[in-house]
Structure 1
């Protein structure tokens, strides 16, 4: 049974998606203009979004909502509930007209993520999760349990290629297992695709802002996946690195990263 808070979140994230798509489609008129400024475009979009979202929250919470941030992330607080919204995860893809970006939303209550959503407005794919109630893609339950010994796809963050030479064992793993590598530019979609078995592993060796990972974290866990650091510990939030996949993939990668830290 869908929760009332999830219903509100879905309405908000779809409204955000509609605005993002309109601006995405309008870019062709300005993209080759010498006066075109991508920063102005993003600020204009964010200003429009923050007004619409704030109005929605005011209707729900009777103006008791507090806006903590309204730049890269929109962060709203109502009593013990915090809404963390990333309006465009994959801004460079969006600006370059590369059709791979998403909107992410995490609803945290008393410090725990209880509801999360990741929405690809171009494909109309909506990933959702409620703590303790599984994860879904467009209403269909997700299970992060597929494991094939060949044709594995690993998604990496952009800094992974700058690993020091002592981590060559992972590169050997990629070659030995014929692992294909993807750097997509949208962290949220990487994590959502992992939960949906579209990719097999996500590796991030330079976690600087965990807000980018909050929504995907709950979706992966509710789909049965695991998240650790590179030595298999679950306190990855206190590490600079993160490894996500099902139990078979985690075991495979950790066995090849013994000397990373």
Structure 2
């Protein structure tokens, strides 16, 4: 179903997301029969990811054959590469949740025009929740206008995040990062689908979000939702050009600035002095009596 009040390109994205959602919901009825493969340790892909991505690409290119595609599973192999119009697709964000029957996952589709996201659609098929945004026209959940939360005291805030799970992730540095945030908030949550986390920030269900290791398809649609709902999004130092920097923080304006103040020293763009402080704190976290000269991976700092 399309709406005459929505941008035509957003209507096509919604059609694609719902078609993918139908595939996901059918598979969820018998998730144990779904074929699963592993891209790397703890990074899974299923036949459902591929089928959902295929129907999204087919729907988009049927309407806009000269647009480009940038998708999680097939990369940039479809569409007309070099086009000013690029569809950025995550067909099933939260695959690990899905294969366990844990109902927190979604379809994420964004359209970037000359590098700027102008249309966004995130669809949660298990709840039939549809989050949409068009640049300059606001963000919506099931046709209800969204606004970020109004909380300004971090101690009263619920913050979502993602845990490191890939080889090479600096787990000890992340523990320190989470400890810095956790002790200042009302609670820290790890739902397991970054696109949905950002949609929830836009809806005011959570007050902020942060994570490292994310790709453009994880954050593209959610970034527009947050901005159109009155929030801010960037990297850990507050730089708004974050899409491919693999670190992301979002929130209402007051909470965003406070999170940047806490997380800035963990950014790969932080000053040398800040990185040294993080390395020292991480070393103490790993082993309070660690010998001088002990080696600590600081790639995430």
TM-score after normalising by structure 2: 0.72
Give the equivalent residue in structure 2 for 1:107.
Answer: 111
Moved more, 229-238 or 195-204: 229-238
SS in 2 for 1:255: helix
Distance 1:209 1:259, change over 3 A: closer
1:48 to 48, 51, 63: 51
Q: How does 1:212-231 map to 2 (within 5 A)?
A: 212-231=218-237
Q: CA deviation at 1:26?
A: 2.0
Partners in 1 of 2:77 and 2:129 — Cα distance?
23
Of residues 98, 117, 120, the one that matches 2:121 is: 117
198, 208, 214: which one pairs with 1:201? 208
User: In the alignment, does 2:194 pair up with 1:187?
Assistant: yes
Q: What is the deviation of 1:185?
A: 1.1
The 5 Å alignment of 1:236-255 reads: 236-237=242-243, 239-255=245-261
In structure 2, C-alpha distance between the alignment counterparts of 1:256 and 1:49, rounded to whole Å: 38
| Structure 2, unpaired ranges of 5+ | 39-43, 271-301
Structure 1 residue 83 corresponds to structure 2 residue 81? no
How many residues align? The count is 251
Answering whether residue 237 of structure 2 is matched by residue 235 of structure 1, we say no
Contact 2:71 2:217 (C-alpha < 8 Å) held by counterparts: no
User: Pairwise CA RMSD of aligned residues?
Assistant: 3.0
Task: For 2:58 and 2:243, locate their aligned partners in 1 and report how far apart those are by CA, in whole Å.
Answer: 33
Give the SS at the match of 2:30.
Answer: helix
Structure 1 distance, partners of 2:186, 2:14, is 35
**Is residue 2:174 matched to residue 1:174?**
no
Gaps of 5+ in 1: 31-35
Q: Give the corresponding residue for 2:96.
A: 92
Distance 1:154 1:72, change over 3 A: farther
The verdict on how the C-alpha distance between 1:58 and 1:251 changes in structure 2, with shifts beyond 3 A counting, is: closer
